[in-house]
Amino acid sequence: MNHTLPPAEAYSPRQNAVLESALGLLVEGGERALTTAGVARAANCSKESLYKWFGDRDGLLAAMITFQSSKVKAEPAGSGSTGRGALVAQLTGIAATLLKVLAGDVSLALNRLAIGQAKRGEADLGQLLREHGRRPIETRLSALLESGRRERLLDFADTREAYRTLYGLIVRDMHVRLLLGDSLDGEEPAKRAAQGIKEFFRLYGTEENTGPAPERAGAGNERTG
Amino acid sequence: MNHTLPPAEAYSPRQNAVLESALGLLVEGGERALTTAGVARAANCSKESLYKWFGDRDGLLAAMITFQSSKVKAEPAGSGSTGRGALVAQLTGIAATLLKVLAGDVSLALNRLAIGQAKRGEADLGQLLREHGRRPIETRLSALLESGRRERLLDFADTREAYRTLYGLIVRDMHVRLLLGDSLDGEEPAKRAAQGIKEFFRLYGTEENTGPAPERAGAGNERTG
DNA sequence: GGTGCAGCGTACCGTACGGTACGGTTCCAG
DNA sequence: CTGGAACCGTACCGTACGGTACGCTGCACC
């Protein structure tokens, strides 16, 4: 009966439904709306069951994070094709997915929850969110970057550094802005992803692979004849 | 007696001291520690005075944000010298300052507070924080970028886009990581700022100003024979 | 049919917090 | 000296929330 770290195996269908209700409540009204009584009412279950299943309120929050991350998983691992085009396509796809996930209601709500909870030093939910939410993306992107390096399409020394730069080029300040309540006015995920990847190749592509020096001052005019 | 929007003029010295105490309390224990009774006790003032000065708890939070941002202001507007070296130096300086501010205890605590408060739609403190914390940086950096463009050192179409890319290259995912409770292990602000500016010039510098194609894979070893 | 278990709904408890009221003290103006 | 304003410290109030206990129902199993 260790509730301190949520189990890796999934919860029961009933518990999944409860967690779904809780997530909806969180998305709708923020942390203040996520009371135990509120969750019980929204999910048509008793508070006693909540405490039996998740230990206490913090356990419920942790379960919500693991549950949500388990839903996002399971992607099509990418085709085995090689070459610059394939690499760009895969990177762009992951980048667009990343942007869409980060901008999603549930992700934002959970990040707000974990960040609001975090204090100097202790950061229980934050670590959980990093482990379940960010590390998978990092490993996938890093693997792709390194495969690109093996193909001599990319050139970098430190994978982690390259990954972070790529992340910065893709996400920029969008995430924090959204977390603070700003709206992404017209930031198209796919377009941003493509642009970020293009810029990344200009920085870390091998000489013949920095891509067509893309539209600079003229956004939409002649393409370098 | 409109407490809804905090006054532009500074608060009285006594009130400043109270706000300072409140910030300390927030940094130390997070939002949960920031109770009206706790602030009153820490600042040796009465709750009644708190409510008289700041209206209610939200007014106190808003006052803390404006107060803190007012302390960060007042920087040496930059020398009037021109040329690529000066531009790089100024950009790097601002970038380093930005990183140091973002990683500061008080900034992190206030951002956590505003983010935790933010909900889908309503985001009272978030807007305040963006206005007082992020917009000044954006205007300063944007002005510098445009002056660089006038000098034909930089080449970009959309200032806001260029600014955001610059921001992404400098900050990357550091801010969110810190907000989630991660520690920046060995990320040197000055070094990161210089690296980010260098990369930005490789993307947006004019042809002769993309900088010396900097150390790529070989951080000290052979350069692409 | 009987028995036990899982779970729902509700009532309940203790505490913590936002906000208000009040008495006492200091300080300044007249 | 007197009046008042500002303010401190504390007590107080209502409410909301986390967590627990209890009675009831439905269901599986024997």
- What digits encode the pLDDT tens for the residues B140-156? 999 999 999 999 999 99
Between A and B, how many CB-CB pairs are < 8 A?
A: 160
Span B39-50, average pLDDT: 96
Confidence of residue B52 (pLDDT cuts 50, 70, 90): very high
Per-window interface: A 9-28 vs B, CB < 8 A? 27-28
A61 touches chain B (CB under 8 A): no
**Between A178 and A3, residue with greater pLDDT:** A178
B214 touches chain A (CB under 8 A): no
Q: Do A181 and B127 touch (CB under 8 A)?
A: yes
Is the Cβ–Cβ distance between B10 and B58 less than 8 Å? Answer: no
Is the Cβ–Cβ distance between B21 and B42 less than 8 Å? Answer: yes
A148 vs A92: CA distance, rounded Å: 13
Name the CA dihedral angle for A151, A155, A156, A162, rounded to a multiple of 10 degrees: -80
In 3D space, the residue among A201, A179, A214, A213 whose CA is nearest the CA of residue B127 turns out to be: A179
Mutate to test the interface with B, among A28, A132, A173, A182 (most CBs of B within 10 A): A173
Can you tell me which residue has the tokens 């977390």?
A179
CB atoms within 10 A of CB A190: 14
Confidence of residue A56 (pLDDT cuts 50, 70, 90): very high
B149 vs B156: CA distance, rounded Å: 7
Would the pLDDT of B86 be above 60? yes
Q: What residues contact residue B84 under an 8 Å CB cut-off, 6+ apart?
A: B153, B209
Average pLDDT, chain B: 88
Is the Cβ–Cβ distance between A114 and B22 less than 8 Å? Answer: no
Residue A205: helix, strand or coil by DSSP? strand
**Burial code of A116-145, b = ≥16 C-beta within 10 A, e = fewer?**
bbbbeeebbbbebbbebbbeebbebbeebb
> Three-state SS across B162-212?
HHHHHHHHHHCCHHHHHHCCCCCCCCCHHHHHHHHHHHHHHHHECHHHCCC
Lowest-pLDDT range of A20-34, A200-214, B124-138: A200-214
Lowest-pLDDT range of A98-102, A181-185, B20-24, B202-206: A181-185
Would the pLDDT of A162 be above 50? yes
Q: How many residues does chain B have?
A: 225
Span B198-223, average pLDDT: 66
Q: Which stretch, A111-125, B74-88, B193-207, has highest mean pLDDT?
A: B193-207
Q: Where are the alpha helices (DSSP H) in chain B?
A: 13-33, 36-43, 47-54, 57-72, 84-102, 105-117, 124-129, 135-150, 159-171, 174-179, 189-204
Question: Cβ contacts (< 8 Å) between B105 and chain A: which residues?
Answer: 120
Q: Do A117 and B119 touch (CB under 8 A)?
A: no
Would the pLDDT of A3 be above 50? no
Is the Cβ–Cβ distance between A126 and B180 less than 8 Å? Answer: yes
Is the Cβ–Cβ distance between A187 and A193 less than 8 Å? Answer: no
Residue B164 pLDDT? 97
Span B76-84, average pLDDT: 76
A91 vs A147: CA distance, rounded Å: 11
Bridge partners (DSSP) of residue B205 are B154
Q: What's chain A's Rg over C-alpha atoms? A: 21
Q: Where are the alpha helices (DSSP H) in A55-188?
A: 57-72, 84-102, 105-117, 124-129, 135-150, 159-171, 174-179
Task: Look up residue A150 and give its two tokens.
Answer: 């093996």
A64 vs A43: CA distance, rounded Å: 14
In 3D space, the residue among B166, B174, B204 whose CA is nearest the CA of residue A160 turns out to be: B174
Q: Do A111 and B180 touch (CB under 8 A)?
A: yes
Q: Do B203 and A207 touch (CB under 8 A)?
A: no
| Partner residue facing A217 (CB), from B129, B156, B182 | B156
CB atoms within 10 A of CB A204: 23
Span B62-78, average pLDDT: 83
CA angle B193–B197–B199, rounded 5-degree value? 120
Span A120-149, average pLDDT: 92
- Convert the pLDDT of each residue in B152-170 to its tens digit: 999 999 999 999 999 999 9
**Between B76 and A88, residue with greater pLDDT:** A88
